[in-house]
């Protein structure tokens, strides 16, 4: 479908079943439901493989996430952040979200991202983090090398 037709359809707020885009992208052959107008003028769910502008935006977002994750890995490897920062970034979490999951105040989670504090954490606290990140306790300290490319499939 051409861009002008999509712009016209976007202006009306309606997309017809025949116009639902099928641009395969990050979904890798899996479909998603999009709502479109059928021949009777009623909205109905239609399977779509994706839409090129959405695929481009998602690819750019994952590229930014990967770049941010590589920055965190470098900080951990340089001794400026603890492995908690890596696992939090890998799972796309904020301090507040992680704090709520491990049932600790945010200031404590933030403090645990300091290597000197992290090295003194009790096993019970480390186990909370390991449980949230679905890791065995012995792997909570593991961080990959910064130059290893992180693919979308490796991210949560």
Each residue's pLDDT tens digit, 87-115: 999 999 999 999 999 999 999 999 999 99
- Cα(6)–Cα(52) distance, rounded to whole angstroms? 12
101/39: higher pLDDT: 101
Mean pLDDT (whole number) for 123-130: 96
Other CB atoms closer than 10 Å to residue 47's CB: what's the count? 11
Query: Mapping DSSP to helix (H, G, I), strand (E, B) and coil, where does residue 49 land?
Result: coil
Of 14, 17, 19, the closest CA to residue 1 belongs to: 19
In this structure, what is the dihedral angle of CA atoms 92, 94, 98, 100, given to the nearest 10 degrees?
A: -130
Q: What angle do CA 2, 12, 23 make, to 5 degrees?
A: 35
pLDDT score recorded for residue 34:
80
pTM of the model: 0.70
> What is the residue extent of each domain of the chain?
3-50, 60-154
pLDDT higher than 60, residue 77: yes
pLDDT score recorded for residue 12:
58
Mean pLDDT (whole number) for 24-35: 76
Other CB atoms closer than 10 Å to residue 12's CB: what's the count? 9
Mean pLDDT (whole number) for 35-51: 85
> Percentage of the chain with pLDDT > 70?
84
- Cα(23)–Cα(107) distance, rounded to whole angstroms? 45
- pLDDT band of residue 1 (cuts 50, 70, 90) is very low
CATH number, domain 60-154, options 1.10.260, 3.40.50, 3.30.1600, 1.20.120: 1.10.260
- Rounded to the nearest integer, the mean pLDDT of the chain is 84
């Amino acid at each position: 479908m051409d861009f002008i037709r999509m712009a016209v359809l976007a202006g009306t707020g309606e997309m017809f079943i025949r116009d639902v885009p099928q641009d395969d992208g990050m979904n890798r052959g899996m479909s998603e439901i999009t709502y479109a107008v059928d021949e009777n003028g009623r909205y109905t769910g239609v399977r779509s493989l994706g839409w090129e502008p959405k695929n481009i935006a998602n690819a750019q977002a994952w590229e930014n996430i990967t770049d941010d994750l590589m920055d965190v890995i470098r900080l951990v490897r340089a001794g400026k952040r603890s492995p908690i920062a890596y696992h939090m970034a890998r799972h796309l979490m904020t301090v507040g979200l992680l704090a709520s999951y491990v049932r600790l105040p945010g200031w404590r989670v933030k403090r645990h991202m300091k290597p000197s504090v992290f090295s003194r954490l009790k096993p019970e606290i480390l186990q909370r983090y390991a449980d949230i990140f679905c890791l065995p306790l012995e792997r909570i300290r593991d961080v990959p090398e910064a130059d290893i490319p992180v693919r979308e499939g490796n991210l949560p």
